[in-house]
């Protein structure tokens, strides 16, 4: 099990999903995606709220 963020979980109609063992990488890629594809800036807190953590 790894860290995971699904764009869909933020309420977007978007299939983008990131999964990695590196929490920082997941957050970085999610932030880049949100900015590039959705024109959104998201905070670390927002990303942590969306992130699924390893059990
Ligand atoms: Zn998206």
CA distance 9 to 6: 5
The pLDDT assigned to 55 comes to: 80
Positions of the chain with pLDDT lower than 50, given as ranges? none
Residues lying with their CB under 5 A of ligand 1, a single-atom ion? 7, 12, 14, 16, 37
Cα(46) to centroid(ligand 1), Å: 14
- What are the residues whose beta carbons fall under 8 Å from the beta carbon of 18, sequence distance 6 or more? 4, 5, 26, 29, 30, 33
By the 10 Å C-beta count (0-12 exposed, 13-18 middle, 19+ buried), 1 is classed as exposed
């Amino acid at each position: 099990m790894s860290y995971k963020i699904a764009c869909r979980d933020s309420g977007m109609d978007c299939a983008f999903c990131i999964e990695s063992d590196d929490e920082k990488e997941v957050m970085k890629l999610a932030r880049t995606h949100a900015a590039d594809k959705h024109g959104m800036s998201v905070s670390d807190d927002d990303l942590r709220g969306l992130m699924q953590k390893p059990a």
